[in-house]
Amino acid sequence: MFSIPALTGIRAIAAGAVFFGHVLHDHLNESLSVFKYGWIGVNMFFALSGYLFYLLYVDSLKDNTFSWKQYLSKRFIRIYPLTILVILLSIAALPFTYGLMDILSHLTLLHGYYPPFRFSINPPLWTLSVEISFYLLAPMLILSMSSIFQSWIERVSNRERISSKMKIALISIFMWVLGVAFCNGITEIYQNFWYYFIGSWDGTAGTLTIFGRLDDFIAGMAIAAYARHYPKGKLSGDLLVLIGTVIITIALIFTDTNGGANLVGKHKLSDFVFPSLAFGSGIIIMGLHRGGMVARVLSTKTMVLLGDISFGLYVLHYLSVPGHPKSALSLQSYLESIGIHYSISAMIGYILFSILAFVSLKFYEKPIGKYLSKKMLGT
């Protein structure tokens, strides 16, 4: 296991984007346009998971030292304690609101596969349904990608028209393109299957299930495969961050000029517009891993701390309290109602929920994590 402080710091950026995107939803025409697309933080999270998982587990998978028990236990310890607490507190805050199947599907994180339950108890938790699905697929994907990657490298190794670095870069891009095409196809199959057996069309399967979001993880994995072979290179870390940022910016401008997130899907190029957000994020992540000025900024103690509490901020800001199913939005509305400007209200909310996330990390997540690690892993 290794630690890359800058990649912890970028979690703070991703979680902050989601938070401000939510609380400023009613002021999208007045606030910075970037907050209109705060959901790109999710693309970053998924790409980061793919990148880190590939680097963390590819060696153990290849040399047969990978342990499913240890792997799944660590994933359980990281996600479930806070998730279950948030679900139970939300249910207690709004009693008799949710049905038994809704509750059970959330406790097992399977709610993302049933449209009526995706946003019921705690809307951001849909991403955990996608994450847990990726966890189960990741070892197979990593091993398969590594094998294919190595095979293709050997096939092109004797062709001297282009450099080895360019060959591997092109292979990484090609694997990502294949991932995008696969997701488009498997999503349509899933939607047809759902329509045939359930009788309704799952129109959001492409954005809210693993079928449509697997290419976000694959983007991170494909770029990690390149970074593993060439951790250093002619392109500096800061230049890679700039390239990734440009890719994301172009994708968002294209989205904005074609009717926004809800309408851009009708454009023929949309199949690669949304996936390019994760691909651009992956390049940023590789740049941060390589180092540079931006990486140093995101590696500061403040950014690392905000990154450490990012998961707590993400799931807690929609924690239900009595009478208020989305507490961050209720706080935002209250602060604005007493005359505080919406931007200042958003910052106050961010600070308060960050404090709550810090308290959760220090006094709940870490202690219970240590306890569960001792019981489940003997560490």
Q: How sure is the predictor about 232, in pLDDT bands with cuts at 50, 70 and 90?
A: confident
- pLDDT for the residue 299: 97
Quick one: pLDDT at residue 27? 85
CA distance 304 to 309: 9
Helix axes 5-23 and 342-360, enclosed angle (nearest 10): 130
Residues 6+ apart with CB under 8 A from 196: none
Q: What is the rounded distance in angstroms from the CA atom of residue 16 to the CA atom of residue 353?
A: 11
Helix axes 126-156, 210-229, angle to 10 degrees: 40
| Cα–Cα dist 91/74, whole Å | 26
Segment 81-103 mean pLDDT: 95
Tell me the average pLDDT of the chain: 91
* Banded pLDDT at 265 (limits 50, 70, 90): low
For residue 354, give every residue at least 6 positions away whose Cβ sits within 8 Å of its Cβ, in sequence order, or none.
Answer: 306, 309, 313
pLDDT at residue 277, as a whole number: 94
Cross-strand bridge partners of residue 324: 321
Each residue of 334-369: pLDDT tens digit?
999 999 999 999 999 999 999 999 999 999 999 999
Q: Which 3 state secondary structure label does DSSP give 97?
A: coil
Measure the CA–CA gap between 111 and 319, rounded to whole angstroms.
17
Report, as an integer, the average pLDDT of 14-43: 86
Residue 31 reports pLDDT greater than 80? no
Banded pLDDT at 26 (limits 50, 70, 90): confident
DSSP state letter for 39: T
pLDDT of residue 284: 97
Question: Which pLDDT band holds residue 142 (cuts at 50, 70, 90)?
Answer: very high
